Amino acid sequence: MNITRILLPVDGSRFSDAAADMAMDMAASFNASVVLLHVRKTVPTGLGQPNADELLEYLTKNAEVVMAHYRGRLDNARIDYIDLVVGGGVADVIANVAEVEKCDLVVMGSKGKSNLEGLILGSVTHKVLNIAHCPVLVVK
């Protein structure tokens, strides 16, 4: 298997941090680039103003904080990357970006920020495993 492009979806959780460690190690080993992805929740229609604007502003600021953390890590490791913030259903966006960006591998955490501690595998990770066109490496 030739790995030239790795998708790294992140949400700021400790599981994303572990996945980032693995993705950076693999990128360095294979001289691969990384597609850094944060999936931003969408603002529900019908929320009304000004609530929708406030929620969008909060989600946008949160995405920037999360992405800045991982951009810094990738910059320090001197790994070539692009970064994307996309709104939508998390698992569907991850699978779609992996395909559109022609990623050879998805490296993601076993759970995200919102999952319960007792779960072994988060629902988003489970869905990505089932719908992604490429291999998925799950890191805990």
Strands (E), 11-109: 33-40, 81-87, 105-109
DSSP code of 109? E
Residue matched to tokens 């600021």: 61
**Chain segment 20-47, per-residue pLDDT in tens:** 999 999 999 999 999 999 999 876 666 5
Q: What is the pTM of this model?
A: 0.90
Other Cβ atoms within 10 Å of 102 Cβ, number: 12
**Chain segment 77-134, per-residue pLDDT in tens:** 999 999 999 999 999 999 999 999 999 999 999 987 665 554 556 789 999 999 999 9
Long-range contacts for 71-78 (Cβ within 8 Å, ≥24 apart)?
A: 71/36, 73/20, 73/24, 74/24, 74/34, 74/36, 77/24, 77/27, 77/28
Q: What is the CATH number of the domain that holds 19?
A: 3.40.50.620
| Range(s) of the domain holding residue 14 | 5-139
Q: How high is the pLDDT of residue 118?
A: 47
| Structural domain count, the chain | 1
Q: How high is the pLDDT of residue 114?
A: 61
